[in-house]
Structure 1
Amino acid sequence: MRQTGTVKFFNQSKGYGFITPDDGGKDVFVHISDVERSGIPPIDQGSRVTFETEPDKRGKGPKAINLQIAS
């Protein structure tokens, strides 16, 4: 299920950040590898994106995948 949200924080040098979903749920982790795999330009704080989630392999909650810049 696609969600829309706003990038709360993204550190380009560390390669990760968090997205705040519009539905008011918990922030979603996003890794730079998933941004790059999605083929979108680098994201910054305040960017509007759509995304899907999948469980994090380390069990720390969902992570964002299949990102797109929201129009």
Structure 2
Amino acid sequence: MKGFGFIQRDDGQPDAFVHISAVERAGMISLNEGDRLEFELEVDRRGKYAAVNLNPQQ
């Protein structure tokens, strides 16, 4: 496990970076391809989007 990855956004905008710490704060162990999530976006100091406050969806 790398400790980070990217989430494809439904709105067609660029993928959002996600760090394992955001996954763990949401009470999850990992993310798998195809998992559905609600999340908020933060812009980091480089202007890239990061997913935070993850909420798994069924």
Q: TM-score, normalised by structure 2?
A: 0.85
Percent of residue pairs bearing the same amino acid type: 47
Gaps of 5+ in 2: none
Greater than 3 Å deviation, 4+ residue runs: none
Q: Which residue of 1 aligns with 2:56?
A: 69
Paired residue type of 1:26: P
Tell me the CA shift for residue 37 of structure 1.
1.2
2:43 to 55, 58, 65: 55
Matched residues, number: 58
CA RMSD of aligned residues (A): 1.3
Gaps of 5+ in 1: 1-12
